[in-house]
Amino acid sequence: MPNAPVRVRLAPSPTGEVHIGTLWIALFNWVYAKQHHGTFVLRIEDTDQKRFVAGSADRIYEALYWLGFSPDEGPQEGGSFGPYIQRERLQLYQDAAAQLVGSGRAYYCFCTPERLEQVRAAQTAAKLPPRYDKHCATLTREEADRRRGAGESATVRLRLPETGTVTLHDLIRGDVIFKYDLLDDSVIMKSDGYPTYHLAVVVDDHAMQISHVFRAEEWLPSAPKHLFIYQALGWEVPAFAHFPLILGTDRSKMSKRHGTTSALMFRDQGYLPEAMRNFLVLMGWHPKGEAEVMTTDDVLAQFAIEDVHPSGAIFDQTKLDWLNGLYIRRLTPDELQVRLEPFWHQPADQVSPTWLTAALRLVQDRLVKLSDIDQLINFVFPSVWDSELTTFERSLLVPKKGKTDQVQQDLTWASTWLQTQSGTWTAAGLKAAMLVAIAAAGKKNGDVLWPLRVALSLRPASPDVFDLIALLGPAESQRRIAAFL
C-alpha cells in the first residue's frame, strides 16, 4: 500500500503459551510502527476452536506488556477497526467466501474426510505430492446449491489456476515466484461456518487497512493463495516481509529440546525486558558496526527491514545470558533491589537495609538472571547457612591438590589469626594483613583461603573470601568456622 499510513499487526492464535518467536515478530512490527509514526495492531486469531486454550489471550498481553510492546489497537485497547477477535467477525468471512464462490474463484466441496484420506493414500502410494484432486471443482453451481439445500455438509475451496505463476515481492527476500501447478485448492471456509487462516487473514488485513504484513517464513508457501484472494476480491495487496525461522545453535528449528521456548518463562526466570529486547533484535539483523548493546532508541534509529537476513535466526542462549548479566550489572543498588523483589526469598533473619545492600554488591556481577539470587547470596543469612550445613558435603572443603588432614589445621590457624584482629574489618585490610601472615607461617594461600571461603559459604564458588568475612563480621565468621572445628 504505497503512501498509505503504516499499520502493522501481530495476529497470534490463543493456543497456549506464548512462543518466543511470537514476541520476536512483535518486536519488528512494533519497531517499524514507531519508526514510521504508524499503528501497531493486536488481533487475536481464534477461529481454530479445536486448539483454543482459555486464558491464552491474557498471556499474550502479559508477554507484550513485559517487553514494552503495548498495542495501539486491540481487544483491550479498542479502535476504529474492531472487533479485534476473529470469532466476532464471522459474517465478514462468510460474505467474502460467498463473493468468491459467486465469481467462480471458489467452489463448494462435498468430499468427506474418508474420501480425502483415500485420495491422499493413493497419491502417497504413487509417490505424488498430496493435494486435493479437484473432484468437486466441476460441479455446477446449481448442483452445489441443490446439495447444500438438502442439508449436505460442504466446505469452500479456492479455485486456483492450473498453469502460470504468481510473484510476491518480499521486503526481505526480494521477488519470490510460485507456480500454480504446484499449489492445492485449499479450504477457505470449513463446514462449521468458520474460516481457515487463508481467508480470515486476508479479510482481516484488508478490513483493518494493514499496510505491512510481517510474519514468519513458515507462511511463505501460503502467500500465493493469499495474493490470489486479494486479486479475486479486487483488494490492494499490502507489503509483505517473511522473517526467517528461529533456530537453535544446532541450526534446527527451535523447540523445547533447546530449552525454554515460552516467552513468559524467560520473564519468570528473571531475564530483564531490556536485555531480551536487545537480544531479540540482534537475531536476524545487526546494525552497522560491531555494537552488541543497543537501547530502544538505538534500534529505532538504525533498523531497516531490508537488512534482515533471510536465513535462519539463531537463538543463542549463551549470548542472552551474557546480555542479561550485563544489564543487571548496570542497575543501581536500589534498582536491583526493586527488580529482585519477585525473586528474592529472604529469610526472616533481622538484618539492616545497609547490610542487604552490601550483600547484593557481592553478587551483582555474578548474577546471570534474577532468579539466581537465592542460590548466590542467601547463605549469608545465618538461618540459611545453618540449615544447609546439615547436608553439606565436607569433601568440598579440600582444595585442589590439597590434603584432607590438613584442612582442620589450616582452618584452626585461620580462626586463631582472625581472633587477633581488632577494630573494623574491611576486605582490603584483612586481605593485606592475612596474606602476609600466611606467608610468614610458611603456608600456601590456596590451602588456607579455599577451606575458609567454603566454610563461610558452603559453596565451591562464592564471592571473595575477604569480602565475605567483612560482610559477616567477626562473630558470625568465627561461629561458622567453629562449626567445622
Give the domain CATH number at 324. 1.10.1160.10
Regarding beta strands 155-158 and 165-170, do their DSSP bridges make them parallel or antiparallel, or are they unpaired? unpaired
Grid coordinates representing 186 are 485449499
Chain-centroid distance, C-alpha 45: 20
Q: Is the pLDDT of residue 257 over 60?
A: no
Q: Which of 313, 329, 345 is the last residue of a domain?
A: 329
**Is position 442 within any domain?**
yes
- Mean per-residue pLDDT, 305-334: 93
Query: What confidence category does residue 248 fall into, taking pLDDT thresholds of 50, 70 and 90?
Result: confident
Range of the domain at 309: 256-329
C-alpha–C-alpha distance, residues 247 and 263, integer Å: 15
Number of Cβ within a 10 Å radius of residue 127? 6
C-alpha–C-alpha distance, residues 80 and 232, integer Å: 26
**Is position 113 within any domain?**
no
Closest CA to 180 of 225, 141, 247: 225
- Mean per-residue pLDDT, 235-240: 97
By CB neighbour count within 10 A (0-12 exposed, 13-18 middle, 19+ buried), where does 222 fall? middle
**Is position 212 within any domain?**
no
Q: Is the pLDDT of residue 258 over 60?
A: no
Query: What confidence category does residue 252 fall into, taking pLDDT thresholds of 50, 70 and 90?
Result: confident
Residues labelled catalytic: 256
Least confident of 56-65, 226-235, 400-409, 433-442: 400-409
Q: In what order do the strands lie in the sheet with 165-170?
A: 39-42, 7-10, 212-216, 239-243, 165-170, 174-179
Q: Which of 311, 329, 347 is the last residue of a domain?
A: 329
**Residue 310 or 253, more confident:** 310
Q: Which of 275, 296, 329 is the last residue of a domain?
A: 329
Chain-centroid distance, C-alpha 3: 33
**Is position 463 within any domain?**
yes
Give the chain's largest Cα–Cα span: 106
The 10s digit of each residue's pLDDT in 28-61 is 999 999 999 999 999 999 887 778 788 889 999 9
Cis peptide before 83 (omega within 30 of 0): yes
C-alpha–C-alpha distance, residues 430 and 467, integer Å: 9
Please answer whether residues 193 and 148 qualify as being in contact, where contact means their C-beta atoms are separated by less than 8 angstroms. Answer: no
- Please give the C-alpha separations between residue 201 and each of 14, 149, 256, in angstroms, as whole numbers: 15, 29, 28
The 10s digit of each residue's pLDDT in 343-381 is 999 998 888 999 999 999 999 999 999 999 999 999 999
At 410, which amino acid appears?
A: D
CATH of the domain at 423: 1.10.10.350
Closest CA to 266 of 15, 10, 23: 23
What's residue 113's pLDDT? 95
Instruction: Say if residue 403 is in the same domain as residue 479.
Output: yes
- Please give the C-alpha separations between residue 39 and each of 5, 92, 344, 348, in angstroms, as whole numbers: 8, 22, 38, 49
What's residue 184's pLDDT? 93
Instruction: Say if residue 315 is in the same domain as residue 398.
Output: no
Q: Which residues contact 288 (CB under 8 A, 6 or more apart)?
A: 302
**Is position 430 within any domain?**
yes
**Is position 469 within any domain?**
yes
Q: Is the pLDDT of residue 322 over 80?
A: yes
Closest CA to 215 of 233, 202, 203, 229: 202
What's residue 102's pLDDT? 96
At 209, which amino acid appears?
A: Q
Q: Is the pLDDT of residue 260 over 70?
A: no
Question: What is the chain's mean pLDDT, rounded?
Answer: 93
- Provide the number of structural domains found in the chain: 2
Instruction: Say if residue 324 is in the same domain as residue 396.
Output: no
Q: Is the pLDDT of residue 259 over 60?
A: no
What's residue 16's pLDDT? 82
Instruction: Say if residue 325 is in the same domain as residue 406.
Output: no
Grid coordinates representing 431 are 586481605
**Is position 181 within any domain?**
no
Please answer whether residues 362 and 468 qualify as being in contact, where contact means their C-beta atoms are separated by less than 8 angstroms. Answer: yes
Q: Is the pLDDT of residue 455 over 90?
A: yes
Number of Cβ within a 10 Å radius of residue 324? 24
- Mean per-residue pLDDT, 287-291: 82
C-alpha–C-alpha distance, residues 8 and 42, integer Å: 9
- Mean per-residue pLDDT, 160-165: 95
- Mean per-residue pLDDT, 448-467: 94
**Is position 5 within any domain?**
no
What's residue 261's pLDDT? 79
